[in-house]
Structure 1
Amino acid sequence: MAEHGDVTPISLLVDAARKDSFETYRAEMEQSMLFTSKRRNRVYAIQQAIARDPGDGLYVEFGVAAGHGCRLFGKFLAPHGRHMHGFDSFVGLEEDWTGYHTG
């Protein structure tokens, strides 16, 4: 629920979306690795990609936003002589998401 007990229409929509997503993927999640932070998820993902890299692939991210993931991946790739390429249109979202407006 909302932080500090503040219930707003947006917090109710976000909570409902979380519950709906959880129920939709509950069976798969029970057999999946779960991470406590986005960074830990990203670190695991790039480590797995590096371990499986045949040496001739590209590392790209589309819609980099602030670039946090792209920079993190680049730091992990550099010691292996690999590079991360990020792309963004800089026009924002095409449609509204809960709590985020287009543009």
Structure 2
Amino acid sequence: MPVDGQLRIVGRSTVLSTRIGRELGRQLRPARPGHPWPEEITETSLNRFSNDKGTVRLTLVEPIVVEISADVAWTGKSFRHPVGYVRVRPELDPDEVELPPHLKR
């Protein structure tokens, strides 16, 4: 999600069903050079309450827009709890997505 003008990791999803994972996987394309995220991040980048200090390896893909279901818990620049996947939004470009006003602080 764009935060402060940059595409940022703002959380993680709940576990996807096999069917949804396959459907979503068909929409994903490998990242081109210059992807804004690193290949590894700390566990606390995804779960700030984690006691695990290890790293998480990311599979970088070209950004797409997906609709999510999230509760209102927003801490700093990320969702406090895992978000639910709703659907892919192919009619939207990632550059068109804005952080909702109630999350801008």
| TM-score past 0.5 threshold | no
Q: Normalization by structure 2: what TM-score?
A: 0.23
Say which structure is richer in strand.
2
Higher RCO (CA 8 Å, separation ≥ 6 residues): 2
Larger radius of gyration: 1
